[in-house]
Structure 1
Amino acid sequence: RAFACLPACISLVGFSSFRGVLDTVTPVKISLFANLFHAVLDPILIFSIALGVNGAALATLGTEVISAISYLVILRKREMLIFSKLFRLPSWAKLSPILKGGAALQLRNVAMNLTFLSVARVTQGIDSTGVAAAAHAMAIQVFQMGGIVLLALSTISQTVIPNDLVEVYDKRQKKMIGGKENAKNTVNRLMSWGLVLGIGLGCLQLISLPLIQKTTPLQEVRDAAMVPSILASIFQVINGLVFIGEGVMIGTGSFMELSITTVLATAGCLWALRAFPPVYGITGVWMSFGVFSFLRLIGVALHQRVYGPLSPRAMKAHTAGEVA
């Protein structure tokens, strides 16, 4: 399974390359083709050849290799990749921004993983019957109904904003389009959609609670999951703004600011996990999630209103520079 690391990295870079040019269809086709191959290969290697777990690992490796080769071939065909430069070491001037941004985002990933690991640890320690863990799983299902949509919008904002920041000549409109002003308008629209969708998806989750409650026959699990599920629905209003706002931070290259915000939010969540669950049980765990989301929302607000490249102060300075 470890041999799949290199082809997986190639696939990730390929996916990011197509996303950068606003091509979302090609990665879907490659993923569909690779996963169909995986679906066919899995039962053959696991059962027909009787390799068991090793067969599953080989099937995954084969899928990753096919995906990586597909990306390389299509990137070369579209002249987005030059094989002669593939093994050439890049200059430090080109490598430095990637390393700095990657290190900052890795810090964010560590903070996020620490948060979720701490949540899992606290949840499992609430009781010895497994009721709290089952209720937490139900609340997660409720959250994912809207969370997947909002996370998709975050990915969109990561792609759209950097493209809007670049000024290009539009032959159809016969004028220059793009730039900070255009990107700022796009951010405002995305944040508005985030708020609207957050409210709408939160309401949809509340409406679906009776249906989700039927996924378990255990009444004690249903009762324990009710308040966390309601909190998961309410938090979507915040998440709609947070997910898109953090996507904007990535799109504008504010990697370190995003990481610092996430680290501070993680610190707040860890404190809440020590304070709330001993009093409120599994509901306290989801109250801690609320602290995590709210602190991230503060970071998004500060980025857009105070210190970010599209904040009013920065836009005013940009306009003054153009006039001068």
Structure 2
Amino acid sequence: MEMAALIIGSGTLMDIVGIPVDSPMRAPAEQFLTLRAYGAPPVVVALAAQGAFRGFMDTKTPLYAVVAGNLVNAILDAIFIFPLGLGVSGAALATVTSEYLAAIILLWKLNNELVLFSWNVIGGDIIRYLKSGALLIARTIAVILPLWLSTSLAARQGPVPMAGYEISLQVWLTISLLNDALALAGQALLASEYAKGNYKQARLVLYRVLQIGGVTGLALAATLFLGFGYLTLLFTDDPAVLDVAQSGVWVRRIIRSQYFVSQVTMILYSLNECGIIAVCHYYSADKCYCFCVRWALLRCF
């Protein structure tokens, strides 16, 4: 459904974002979105599979799969975009190919741990899991909407402001994903200890993650303060685009320096969700439990 919606509604989505028909960004954006839509199924499968591996406390397998996919993506980008001259379409095709590869690897490895497909679907459990994940879905929407709005505002300003905004956004996303890795590890460890009733160890995990989060936030703020200008040069040498990208550096620095507060919020939020994640651990231990049910739960995360 997601793939069909993106393919059929690519033009409508461009209108919602605010890219006019006569904009030089319109045709490449629609082209990229239409091709990237074919990658929606493997992305959903990969996200669910990664959640299942986290339930098994296995972070290595998703790492290997994602690294393999990214390597293929980089190689195909260099081939499709430049020698073959496919441009934006080549970038989309390379990304979709890498996403299918990562999803196949994850499913192949996950098949050794549980039954992936079963007709024994328990509808009541699916509904219960979806209800439990309602707050997490709301949180995801709350994160996506500001990004959608800021992207829309940048796109309405034209190609140069949009390019500068995208550089700043990519740097921020890279740093945020590094931080998110720490948060996910803390959540998994905290949920595991909480489910076992080891409350003392759970508190220790909480304190350690908060300490590491504080140090990480300060280190990343210093990195941005000293190196943001050099990082933007990795994307372009256009002075106009660089001016736009670097105009938001102070906001990024403030956000990164406040990462300690972000870690506090994330871990306290995790305490509230420990019961849900503990259920995930329980059912992940049952290799015969239906993959469809587990997907419904993990997709919410």
TM-score, length-scaled by structure 2? 0.60
Write the distance in 2 (CA, Å) between the matches of 1:142 and 1:53. 22
Aligned twin of 2:53: 18
CA displacement, residues 6-64 of structure 1 (integer Å, 9 cap, x when unaligned): 12211112111111101111111111222222222233333444433333322222222
2:71 to 36, 47, 57: 36
Matched, 1:201 2:216: yes
Aligned twin of 1:163: 192
Pairwise mapping of residues 109-188 of structure 1 onto structure 2 (< 5 A)? Answer: 109-117=140-148, 147-166=176-195, 178-179=196-197, 182=198, 184-188=199-203
Q: Aligned pair in 2 of structure 1 residues 115, 194: CA closer, same or farther (>3 Å)?
A: farther
Q: Aligned pair in 2 of structure 1 residues 214, 25: CA closer, same or farther (>3 Å)?
A: closer
Flag structure 2 segments of 5+ consecutive residues without an equivalent: 1-35, 233-238, 278-301
Aligned twin of 1:309: none
Q: What value does the CA root-mean-square deviation take over the aligned residues? A: 4.0
The answer (yes or no) to whether the contact 1:139–1:225 under 8 Å persists in 2 is no
Write the distance in 2 (CA, Å) between the matches of 1:142 and 1:4. 24
The answer (yes or no) to whether the contact 2:164–2:245 under 8 Å persists in 1 is no
Aligned twin of 1:253: 276
Aligned twin of 2:90: 55
Write the distance in 2 (CA, Å) between the matches of 1:61 and 1:119. 25
Aligned twin of 2:290: none
The answer (yes or no) to whether the contact 1:42–1:56 under 8 Å persists in 2 is yes
Matched AA of 2:187? Q
Write the distance in 2 (CA, Å) between the matches of 1:89 and 1:122. 47
Matched AA of 1:154? A
Q: Aligned pair in 2 of structure 1 residues 102, 89: CA closer, same or farther (>3 Å)?
A: farther
CA displacement, residues 150-199 of structure 1 (integer Å, 9 cap, x when unaligned): 42222113322332244xxxxxxxxxxx22xx1x3244223322432343
Matched, 1:236 2:256: no
Write the distance in 2 (CA, Å) between the matches of 1:140 and 1:52. 19
Write the distance in 1 (CA, Å) between the matches of 2:174 and 2:74. 25
The answer (yes or no) to whether the contact 1:31–1:67 under 8 Å persists in 2 is yes
Write the distance in 1 (CA, Å) between the matches of 2:52 and 2:132. 16
Q: Aligned pair in 2 of structure 1 residues 249, 149: CA closer, same or farther (>3 Å)?
A: farther
Aligned twin of 2:44: 9
- Percentage identity across paired residues of the two chains: 25
Matched AA of 2:260? V
Determine which structure has more spread, i.e. the larger CA radius of gyration.
1
CA displacement, residues 236-261 of structure 1 (integer Å, 9 cap, x when unaligned): 2312211222233333329xxxxxxx
Q: Which moved more, 1:147-156 or 1:111-120?
A: 111-120
Matched AA of 2:203? N
Write the distance in 2 (CA, Å) between the matches of 1:58 and 1:138. 24
Bigger relative CO (Cα 8 Å, ≥ 6 apart)? 2
2:205 to 190, 193, 200: 190
Write the distance in 2 (CA, Å) between the matches of 1:5 and 1:209. 32
Matched, 1:106 2:137: yes
The answer (yes or no) to whether the contact 1:10–1:68 under 8 Å persists in 2 is yes
How many pairs align? 232
Write the distance in 2 (CA, Å) between the matches of 1:123 and 1:53. 19
Residue 90 of structure 1 aligns to a residue in which SS?
coil
Write the distance in 2 (CA, Å) between the matches of 1:209 and 1:59. 30
Aligned twin of 1:274: none
Aligned twin of 1:302: none
Q: Aligned pair in 2 of structure 1 residues 187, 242: CA closer, same or farther (>3 Å)?
A: farther
CA displacement, residues 91-132 of structure 1 (integer Å, 9 cap, x when unaligned): 21221122223443222211222344456678999x99x99x
Flag structure 1 segments of 5+ consecutive residues without an equivalent: 167-177, 255-324
Q: Aligned pair in 2 of structure 1 residues 27, 53: CA closer, same or farther (>3 Å)?
A: same
